[in-house]
A = this chain, B = another copy of it.
Amino acid sequence: MISSNAETEAGQRGPADHAIREQVVTAAKAHFIRYGYAKTTVSDLAEAIGISKAYIYKFFESKQAIGEVICGGALGAIDQGFAEVVASARTPTEKLRKGLETMVESSTKLFFSERKLYDIAAHSCLEKWRSSNDHWDRVLQRVSDIVSEGRKKGEFERKTALDETSRSIVQAMQPFINPLHLQHNLDLVPTQSNEVIRLILRSLAP
């Protein structure tokens, strides 16, 4: 709903709305989930669709560009869950608390149920792909909106600069919401992550 086809993805070329493009993405997702990003070759995808490898490169600049679309989907789902919980919560405090909890939860779930996709997400964060940068921009924006609303309602303090506050919240949560870091902290979820969330909420007290 939010992103109908408004995104002009980088690393793409050729006709934007084309059956082949969709087929590549569909095949790529299936293959990446099953065999992982590294073990999937562009030829595999071409073969699965029934076209030549060269033709795929009429639609994507590189294998990474395909990976970014799939990764964008996975991170987008996490982002989506965050947004939904936020929408259904009443107060800004609850929005932030439940929103962050949900992000931790869905990231952890991704790790355990779709490990191969998780690995792509982690790789994306490590290599600072566009898909992860976009993700963090969205998360930061969402947090910023909540904090802003909380300030208006007098629930949160107003002294600190809004962008500093938002940045530091997202930063403090990195060990639990960044796939790159989360994998080293799985044993701390959810106890420690909830404690950090509580620390964040305390820091917002007026």
Q: Which A residues form the contact surface with B (CB < 8 A)?
A: 126, 157, 160, 164-165, 167-169, 171-172, 174-175, 180-181, 184, 188, 192, 195-196, 198-200, 202-205
Contact = CB atoms under 8 A, between A and B. Distances in A.
7 contacts: A165-B199, A167-B192, A168-B196, A174-B175, A181-B181, A199-B200, A200-B203
Contacts of A184: 126, 180-181
Copies in the complex: 2
Contacts of A172: 172, 196, 199
B181 A196 contact: no
Q: Is the interface of A mostly helix, strand, loop or mixed?
A: helix
Nearest to A172: B172
Nearest to A157: B202
B199 A169 contact: yes
Given A200-B199, A202-B203, A171 B188 contact: yes
A42 to B, nearest CB: 29
Contacts of A169: 199
Nearest to A174: B175
A184 B165 CA distance: 21
Contacts of A165: 199
B203 A164 contact: no
Contact of A192 (B157, B171, B181): B171
A40 to B, nearest CB: 26
Nearest to A175: B174
A165 B192 CA distance: 11
Contacts of A164: 195, 198
Contacts of A192: 167-168, 171
B175 A195 contact: no
